[in-house]
């Protein structure tokens, strides 16, 4: 039973770390004030974002290994690898499997960020690929609520609602800041002029 | 190694100047000014960090 408790704990910690990473990632693009202190804070948000992402991947790995090895629920290796084929809570576990695969893609794109900047073509696709982290987060939220043994206890609702509020808030902050930057930055204004003739 | 700025993408966020002050200065609008783009071996890790931190993916490290 110990493994089962550890597996559940690892899953919850992975979800908390994923929330932290998504929030910090969204906030890493905010803060356009041109002074050294706000630039340094952006660098720190990036570092914290990457650290939280590493914790997420590590805890997810632990969660998957423990859930498969544990004998309390009968989950086979193919059942864990192929989405929606698990014998135990098939749909909910399928969401988790899909989340794990998309997280792998997001994590690789994050790790290869500097290398992808080397060519103009790959850099253009980087943001779209990495933004699928929001989908990963939604999938893992669904997986947690539907598959979680603790779902229904008061503290899980506090946890999920708190995490959802944090991600929604960070996303709104990011969009608001991007919009303001777009309308005030002289370079962005000049680009708009060139590409659309000034029409937004 | 050399660092290059892709001016079609640079937005003047200025993070590169905080991570690689030995090579990158900022003009009054916050855009990078690089006098000597050659990166010595001792600075390569810092240059890589600056490349990875650029919010616009506008900085790159190229051989030569």
Residue B17 belongs to a domain with what CATH number? 3.30.70.20
- Mean pLDDT computed over every residue of chain A: 88
Return the pLDDT at A88: 80
Do the Cβ atoms of A198 and A192 come closer than 8 Å?
yes
Domain with B46 in it: 2-62
Question: Least CB-CB distance to B14: which of A29, A39, A114?
Answer: A39
Return the pLDDT at A187: 66
Higher pLDDT, A28 or A31: A28
Please state the rounded mean pLDDT for residues A118-138: 87
How many domains does the structure of chain A reveal?
A: 1
Beta strands per DSSP E along chain A: none
Does the pLDDT at position B33 exceed 90? yes
Nearest to B18 by CA among B50, B43, B56, B57: B50
Please state the rounded mean pLDDT for residues A108-127: 82
Does the pLDDT at position B52 exceed 70? yes
- The gap between the terminal CA atoms of chain A, to the nearest Å, is 60
How many domains does the structure of chain B reveal?
A: 1
Domain with A166 in it: 2-196
Tell me the pLDDT tens digit for each residue of A33-88. 778 899 999 999 999 999 999 999 999 999 999 999 987 887 888 888 888 888 78
Do the Cβ atoms of A116 and B57 come closer than 8 Å?
yes
ipTM over 0.85: yes
**Which residues from A are below 8 Å from B20, CB to CB?**
none
**Which residues from A are below 8 Å from B15, CB to CB?**
39, 42-43
């Amino acid at each position: 039973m110990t493994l089962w408790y550890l597996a559940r704990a690892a899953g919850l910690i992975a979800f908390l770390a994923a929330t932290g990473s998504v929030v910090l990632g969204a906030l890493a693009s905010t803060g356009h004030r041109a002074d050294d202190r706000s630039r340094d804070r952006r660098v720190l948000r990036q570092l914290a974002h990457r650290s939280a992402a590493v914790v997420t991947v590590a805890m997810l790995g632990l969660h998957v290994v423990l859930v498969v090895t544990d004998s309390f629920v009968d989950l086979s290796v193919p059942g864990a690898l192929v989405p929606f084929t698990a014998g135990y809570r098939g749909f909910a576990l399928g969401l988790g499997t899909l989340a794990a695969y998309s997280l792998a893609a997001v994590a690789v794109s994050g790790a290869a960020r500097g290398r992808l900047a080397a060519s103009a073509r790959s850099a253009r696709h980087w943001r779209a690929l990495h933004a699928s982290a929001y989908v990963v987060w939604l999938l893992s939220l669904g997986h947690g609520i539907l598959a979680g043994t603790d779902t229904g206890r008061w503290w899980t609702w506090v946890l999920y609602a708190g995490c959802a509020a944090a991600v929604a808030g960070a996303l709104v902050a990011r969009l608001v800041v991007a919009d303001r930057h777009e309308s005030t930055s002289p370079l962005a204004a000049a680009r708009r002029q060139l590409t659309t003739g000034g029409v937004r | 190694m050399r660092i290059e700025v892709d001016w079609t993408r640079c937005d003047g966020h200025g993070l590169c100047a905080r991570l690689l002050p030995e090579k990158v200065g900022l003009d009054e609008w916050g855009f990078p000014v690089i006098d000597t783009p050659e990166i010595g071996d001792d600075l390569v890790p810092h240059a890589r960090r600056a490349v990875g931190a650029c919010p616009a993916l506008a900085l790159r490290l190229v051989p030569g």
